[in-house]
Amino acid sequence: ILIGASGFSYEEAAEICGCAVGTIKSRVSRARTRLQEILKISGEDEFGPDAISAQVTGSNAA
């Protein structure tokens, strides 16, 4: 939520959470993958290249 919804950088989120940047990156990656599975989103092909889907899927669209 800190990265995707609140717009914090990985470094800022790591500082807030008190853990390493690599930990934040791996947690965000796993969370995005899981959310895609739950919502059955495959990326731009099904959902569109808007800013919100780019945040959810971690793509550079928008």
Enter the pTM of the model: 0.61
Contacts of 17 (CB under 8 A, 6+ apart): 2, 23, 24
Per residue in 14-47, pLDDT (tens digit) is 999 999 999 999 999 999 899 888 887 665 555 5
Neighbouring residues of 39: CB distance < 8 A, sequence distance ≥ 6: 56
Domain boundaries, the chain: 10-57
Residue bearing the bigger pLDDT, 13 or 44: 13
Query: What pLDDT is recorded for position 30?
Result: 94
Nearby residues of 55 by Cβ (< 8 Å), 6 or more positions away: 4, 5
For residue 62, the model assigns a pLDDT of 45
Tokens of 57: 């899927």
